[in-house]
Amino acid sequence: MEASKVIHAIYNDDDVLMNAVKKVKAAKHQIEEIYTPFPVHGLDKAMGLAPTRLAICAFLYGCVGLTVAVLMMNFIMIEDWPQDIGGKPSFSYLENMPAFVPIMFELTVFFAAHLMVITFYLRSKMWPFKKAENPDPRTTDDHFLMELPIHNNELELQSLLSETGAVEINVVDKAH
Amino acid sequence: MYTLSNRLKLVSLILIIVGAGLWGTGYYSSHHVTLDNVKTMLAEEASHGGHGDSHATVTEDTHASKDSHSDNASHADADAHHGDEHAEHVMHQIHNRPYSALYIAAFFFMMIALGALAFYAIQFAAQAGWSPLLFRVMEGITYYVLPGALIVLAIAVWAGDHIFVWMNPDMVNPESDKFDKLVAGKSAWLNTTGFVIRALIFIGGWSLYRYFARKFSLAQDQAPEGDRSNFKKSFRIAAAFLVFFIYTESMMSWDWIMSVDPHWFSTLFGWYVFAGMMVCAVTVMAMITIYLKSKGLLQQVNDSHIHDLAKFMFGFSIFWTYLWFSQFMLIWYSNIPEEVTYFVTRIEDYNLPFFGMIAMNFLFPLLLLMNSDYKRIPWFVVMAGVVILAGHYIDIFNMIMPATVGDRWFIGMPEIGAILLFAGLFMFIVFYAISKQPLIAKGNPFIKESEHFHY
């Protein structure tokens, strides 16, 4: 069950934030989400997030791109309108393969890159016209925000967070 | 501090002795092949069929230049003598083989050290923060540049026209029936004196950089706190060396490799050889680092350093493939006879090493080292490294052998012997150099960053 009350701890330095995350994790409190203006190196490991599976997706998308390139070039250059490539009229895909390698490479990269970006956006629940979930616009500038759910431990969390160097601690009721 | 163990000394000594023995046997047996032996052999092969067919095309290729200089009237005459000429040609190929085998292995190990020197200089020029922990390993490997390169030069001069056909004075003598117009036209560059002078300039420049870089690196360790003058000097000479290196490496690859086919040329050959040497150098660095770590030394080296080296192995393998393919595709596409004959020979007579090497140098590292987790597993990196090194040996093999022995190739006694011989020498010299100084370049301004490096 998602807690309706959350606590927002705001930091103004990524090193302070990293240490805070380690302390909060050590005290066995759950971290709901962290909003940062830029990617913080090692934050995912400190938060204990599962490793990304995006790389596996990228590999599979690359395989799709390679297949599309092979089928496409085979249809265009060999079957539909056979071409005499480099003065060697063999009309075989395999024998003309060197000429197709740049296309095979480009489409592999094209598919892997574009589909990986789209996957990343969807997985992060971002799509066009989506309303921003960002709780505080300062996290797009120079502040870092850690969001923790409250389970009847508001005072304990507040004292812990103020020890970690948070510049601002707010209790927010998400139900409203 | 690493101490050279007796076991390692013994292993390298055994490698050198066994290697020299194998190569010597190969040399001895091939030098006793006479024209009559070859004729009998060719007659046997012809009766078995098969082998003779593929050979005919090669001989015509290599003889084409000579034929073009004789007029048509003498052509019929030449045909009658073709049998004898062919047998003599095969005999020369058989004689050339041990020289080429020795040269390939010598070049292969020299190229590892030279690549490591360039990689080391790049670390200084870029002021890299991740790598200073590995500097003493790199310095150890680069110790082989001077002896290795001198050995390559010595073999080249000793072998003469057994490897470099243009070193035969008849090739540039208009009176001789071996006169070759194209080689004569290139004789301003391709002559033995120029070859030796250029080689000495290359080797001298590389060794000077190696000497001073090592000196400054050691002096920086002894320097008082806050004194970075030696590091700054290192930075400056590294930048200057890299400029010198990229020109001399290119010219070295024309001289020491490309000129074995004096009619053929490729404009990106220097880059192609460079990519190969960088892969091998980084691979050997990773292997030695992992070895030292398994001995309980270099404890600050963590799996992020191994990961970075493996990334370079992966990256340079792709870079090598890119250059290999750029060279191949343009020549294959345009299909100009004097260019494409290079690849025709390799595909027809060296089919397995030619395509096998692409699988070993491209497909294998691509698929094995793609996964980020595998790049951190030492035994995985070592296994991938073994395949990469073998693949790049075959790459050099494919550059030299087709020009010198044609289809009379085999990876047998002389080749394996030469590999063992130089592997032993390389191991001994490199580990001797590593054992001379502490394993951590503690004075380097970036050493703290390197110790805390994590990905």
Work out the pLDDT band at B52, boundaries 50, 70, 90. Answer: very low
Q: A18 and A74 share a domain?
A: no
Query: Partners of A5 in the beta sheet?
Result: A173
The answer to whether residue B329 is domain-embedded is yes
Reported as a pLDDT band with limits 50, 70 and 90, residue B61 is very low
What local confidence, expressed as pLDDT, does residue B68 receive? Answer: 41
Nearest to A41 by CA among B455, B347, B359: B455
Residue in A55, A59, A99 nearest the CB of B333: A99
Nearest by CB to B335, from A55, A59, A88: name it.
A88
Confidence of residue B82 (pLDDT cuts 50, 70, 90): low
- Are B332 and A55 an interchain contact pair (Cβ–Cβ within 8 Å)? no
Under the banding of pLDDT at 50, 70 and 90, the label for residue B73 is very low
Total number of domains in chain B:
1
Residue B72 has pLDDT above 60, yes or no: no
Residue numbers in B near A101 (CB within 8 A): 325, 329
Give the chain A residue whose CA is nearest to the CA of B455.
A42
- What is the per-residue pLDDT across A75-95, written as a single tens digit (0 to 9) for each? 999 999 999 988 888 889 999
Q: State the residue range of the domain holding B21.
A: 6-451
pLDDT at A125 over 70: yes
Chain A residues lying within 8 Å of B335, measured CB to CB: 86-88
In a domain, A84, yes or no: yes
Region B272-289: mean pLDDT is 96
Would an 8 Å CB–CB cutoff place A101 in contact with chain B?
yes
pLDDT computed for residue B90 by the predictor: 87
Q: What percent of chain B has pLDDT over 70?
A: 92
Which of A102-111, A131-140, B89-98, B361-370 is modeled with the greatest confidence?
A: A102-111
How high is the pLDDT of residue B54? Answer: 45
Average pLDDT (B103-124) is 96
Contact call for A86 and B332, based on CB within 8 A: yes
Whole-number pLDDT of residue B89: 85
Tell me whether residue B1 is in a domain.
no
Residue A163 near residue A22 (C-beta atoms within 8 A): no
Same domain, yes or no: A111 and A83: yes
Q: Is the pLDDT of residue A122 over 60?
A: yes
pLDDT band at B70 (very low <50, low <70, confident <90, very high): very low
Name the residue with higher pLDDT: B58 or A7.
A7
Out of A70-74, B208-212, B295-299, pick the least confident.
B295-299
Across B223-243, average pLDDT: 92
| Model pLDDT for residues B134-189, shown as the tens digit of each residue | 999 999 999 999 999 999 999 999 999 899 999 998 888 888 888 988 999 999 99
Task: Please provide the average confidence, as pLDDT, over all residues in chain B.
Answer: 89
Identify residues of B whose CB sits under 8 angstroms from chain A CBs. Answer: 325, 328-329, 332-335, 370-372, 454
Contact between chains at B370 and A87 (C-beta distance less than 8 A): no
Question: What average pLDDT does the segment A129-141 reach?
Answer: 87
Query: Tokens 């597993």 appear where?
Result: B377
Q: How confident is the model at residue B81, as a pLDDT?
A: 59
Instruction: Collect all residues of chain A within an 8 Å Cβ-Cβ radius of residue B344.
Output: none
pLDDT of A25-59, one tens digit each? 888 888 888 999 999 988 988 888 888 889 899 99
Give the A:B interface size as CB pairs under 8 Å: 20
| DSSP classification of residue A9 | E
Domain extent, residue A72, equals: 54-123
pLDDT beyond 70 at B366: yes
In what helix (H) or strand (E) does residue B51 lie, and over which residues does it extend?
Answer: helix B51-69
Instruction: With cut-offs at 50, 70 and 90, classify the pLDDT of residue B249.
Output: very high
Residues of B within 8 A of A59 (CB-CB) are 370
Helix (H, G, I), strand (E, B) or coil at B50: coil
Between B328, B335, B454, which is nearest A86 by CB? Answer: B335
Other beta carbons within 10 Å of A162:
13
Q: How far is A101 from chain B (nearest CA, A)?
A: 9
- Residue A97 resides in a domain: yes
Q: Cα separation of B89 and A65, whole Å? A: 50
Looking at the complex, does the CB of residue A99 fall below 8 Å from at least one CB of chain B?
A: yes
For B322, which residue in chain A has the nearest alpha carbon? A102
Nearest beta carbon to residue A55 from set B335, B372, B454: B372
Over residues B1-35, the pLDDT tens digits come to 888 889 999 999 999 999 999 999 999 988 888 88
Residue B62 has pLDDT above 80, yes or no: no
Please state the rounded mean pLDDT for residues B53-64.
Answer: 44
CB distance B307 to B369 below 8 Å: no
Contact B328 A88 (CB under 8 A): no
Evaluate whether residue B151 is within a structural domain.
yes
The reported pLDDT for the residue numbered A3 is 55
Between residues 120 and 139 of chain A, which touch chain B (CB distance below 8 Å)?
none
In a domain, residue A101? The reply is: yes
Residue B268 lies in a domain: yes
Tell whether A32 and A67 lie within a shared domain.
no
Out of B36-45, B103-112, B438-447, give the one with best mean pLDDT. Answer: B103-112
* Cβ separation B334–A86 shorter than 8 A: yes
Query: Environment class of residue A80 by beta-carbon count within 10 Å: exposed (0-12), middle (13-18) or buried (19+)?
Result: exposed
Is A22 a residue whose pLDDT tops 60? yes
Query: Do A101 and B325 count as a contact with CB atoms less than 8 A apart?
Result: yes
For residue B325, the distance in angstroms to the closest alpha carbon of chain A comes to 8
CB contact under 8 A, A86 and B370: no
Q: What is the pLDDT of residue A176?
A: 54
Give a yes or no: residue A48 inside a domain.
no
Number of structural domains in chain A: 2
The arithmetic mean of pLDDT across residues A134-151, rounded, is: 89
Residues of B in contact with A98 (CB under 8 A): 325, 328-329, 332-333
Are residues A58 and A32 both part of a single domain?
no
Residue A93 located in a structural domain: yes
- Contact state of A98 with B329 under an 8 Å Cβ cutoff: yes
Kindly report the nearest CA distance between residue B396 and chain A, in angstroms. Answer: 22
pLDDT surpassing 70 at residue B64: no
The CATH number assigned to the domain holding A19 equals: 3.30.70.260
Residue B321 CB coordination number (10 Å) = 17
pLDDT tens by residue, B290-319: 999 999 999 899 999 999 999 999 999 999
Strand order in the sheet with A168-173: A33-35, A144-149, A5-11, A168-173
Q: Is the pLDDT of residue A116 over 60?
A: yes
Nearest Cβ partner of A86 from B328, B333, B371? B333
Contact: A88, B372; criterion CB under 8 Å: no
SS3 A84: coil
Rg (CA), chain B: 24
Q: Is the pLDDT of residue B278 over 50?
A: yes
A85 and A77 in contact (C-beta within 8 Å)?
Answer: yes
- Residue B262: what pLDDT? 92
> Among residues A136, A119, A19, which one has the least CA distance to residue A59?
A119
Q: Chain A contacts of B329, Cβ < 8 Å?
A: 98-99, 101
**What's the confidence (pLDDT) of residue A28?**
87
A162: tokens are 């103020």
Q: Does residue A103 lie in a domain region? A: yes
Q: Does A86 touch chain B (CB under 8 A)?
A: yes
d(CA B93, CA B30): 10
Residues of A in contact with B334 (CB under 8 A): 86
Are A61 and A101 contained in the same domain? yes
Nearest chain B Cα distance for residue A49, angstroms: 16
Q: What percent of chain B shows pLDDT beyond 90?
A: 68
> Is pLDDT at B67 greater than 80 in this prediction?
no
Q: Say if residue A117 is in the same domain as residue A152.
A: no
Q: Report pLDDT for B152.
A: 96
What pLDDT does B74 receive? 45
pLDDT top residue among B77 and B339: B339
Mean predicted lDDT score pLDDT of chain A: 89
